[in-house]
């Protein structure tokens, strides 16, 4: 056996056999794994912290699957309706821990006591009419789209100004929270809903800087109208 291993022809043959196994078995499998692709989700636009992610903000891109972490978002449904917990830039990989549910976002915070993260603010806007604030339907935690309008040459022009803005609180003209009125009405079985003022007069929004500027401008022009996005049934 020792003589066999000292034989140069035998050693050469073994080297050729190992090289063949490496070239035709292991390397094709390795390159095949590296060349495989998969689809992931990316943002079409940069979003600030506190922005609700909607389907139209997202796009699907094909990337190499080799070495791709499991925490990368691969399906739009994973984050549609969630809230960005930080600024996320267009085109970058999206990670699950960058997004949270509205409930988790509202319970979070950086010591402010209001569930706000860096770059987000509370802004109170006076409604130009009861109907512009959904006539008593709107409540804290809801998500709305904001429309503005202008009168150009006698013709009203309506445009969507903001998408997916979070409502922090809804108040009547006496600054009473409509959620608090709901709780009082529910607690008193003999109470009559007509005894409570559910007409919305002010809405407190959770906003980033750009959203704040837009809302302030619409309030000044008295050209603001809200539409309610889909939400789970309230208890």
The reply to whether 133 and 88 lie within a common domain is no
90 lies in which domain range?
37-107
Q: Are residues 128 and 91 in the same domain?
A: no
Does residue 190 lie in a domain region? yes
* Residue 12 located in a structural domain: no
Do 86 and 154 fall within a single domain? no
For residues 117 and 208, give the distance between their C-alpha atoms in angstroms, rounded to a whole number: 10
Residues 165, 92 within the same domain: no
Q: Tell whether 125 and 216 lie within a shared domain.
A: yes
Which residues have C-beta within 8 Å of that of residue 10, sequence separation ≥ 6? 4
The tokens of 107 are what? 């319970």
pLDDT at site 157? 86
Same domain? 165 vs 219? yes
Do 92 and 133 lie in one domain? The reply is no
**Which among 69, 84, 107 is the end of a domain?**
107
- Using the CB atoms, write b or e for 87-119: b if 16+ within 10 Å: ebeeeebbeeebbbebeebbeeeeeeeebbbee
Can you tell me the distance from the alpha carbon of 96 to that of 104, in angstroms, rounded to the nearest whole number?
Answer: 14
* Number of domains comprising the chain: 2
Shared domain check, 139 and 54? no
Q: How many angstroms separate the CA atoms of 52 and 83, rounded?
A: 4
Question: Is residue 149, in this structure, part of any structural domain at all?
Answer: yes
Are 103 and 126 in the same domain? no
Tell me the pLDDT of the chain (235 aa) as tens digits.
545 555 566 666 677 677 666 666 665 565 554 557 888 999 999 888 778 898 889 999 988 776 778 889 999 999 998 888 778 888 888 988 888 887 677 665 433 445 566 678 899 999 999 999 998 899 988 899 999 988 777 777 889 999 989 898 999 999 899 988 998 888 888 888 888 999 999 999 988 888 999 999 999 988 899 999 875 545 5
**Co-location of 98 and 126 in the same domain:** no
What is the structure's pLDDT at 13? 65
Per-residue confidence (pLDDT) for residue 170, from 0 to 100: 94
**What is the per-residue pLDDT for 186?**
87
Question: According to the model, what pLDDT value does residue 111 have?
Answer: 36
Inside any domain, residue 209: yes
| pLDDT for the residue 99 | 87
193 is a domain residue: yes
Are residues 92 and 139 both part of a single domain?
Answer: no
What are the tokens at 7? 């034989």
Domain termination site, one of 58, 85, 107: 107
Whole-angstrom distance, CA of residue 76 vs CA of residue 104: 20
pLDDT of 226 reads: 95
Does residue 129 lie in a domain region?
Answer: yes
End of a domain among 48, 72, 107? 107
82 falls within a domain: yes
CATH number, domain with residue 90: 3.90.1210.10
Q: Are residues 130 and 220 in the same domain?
A: yes
In a domain, 115, yes or no: no
DSSP 93: P
């Amino acid at each position: 056996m020792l003589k066999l291993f000292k034989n140069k022809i035998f050693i050469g043959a073994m080297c050729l056999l190992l090289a063949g196994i490496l070239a035709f078995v292991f390397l094709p499998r390795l390159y095949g794994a590296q060349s495989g692709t998969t689809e992931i989700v990316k943002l079409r636009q940069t979003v600030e912290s506190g922005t609700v992610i909607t389907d139209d903000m997202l796009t699907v891109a094909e990337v190499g699957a080799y070495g791709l972490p499991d925490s990368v978002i691969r399906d739009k449904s994973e984050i549609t309706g969630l809230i960005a917990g930080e600024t996320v830039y267009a085109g970058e990989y999206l990670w699950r821990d960058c997004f949270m549910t509205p409930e988790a976002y509202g319970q979070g915070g950086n010591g402010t006591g209001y569930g706000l993260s860096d770059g987000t603010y509370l802004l109170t806007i006076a409604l130009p009419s009861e109907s512009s604030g959904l006539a008593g339907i709107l409540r804290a935690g809801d998500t709305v789209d904001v429309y503005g309008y202008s009168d150009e040459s006698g013709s009203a022009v309506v445009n969507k100004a903001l998408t997916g803005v979070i409502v922090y609180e809804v108040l009547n003209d006496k600054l009473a929270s409509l959620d608090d009125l709901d709780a009082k009405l529910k607690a008193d079985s003999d109470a009559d809903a007509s005894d409570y003022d559910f007409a919305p007069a002010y809405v407190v929004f959770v906003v980033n800087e750009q959203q704040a500027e837009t809302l302030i401008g619409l309030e000044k022009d008295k050209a603001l109208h809200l539409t309610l996005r889909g939400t789970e049934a309230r208890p």
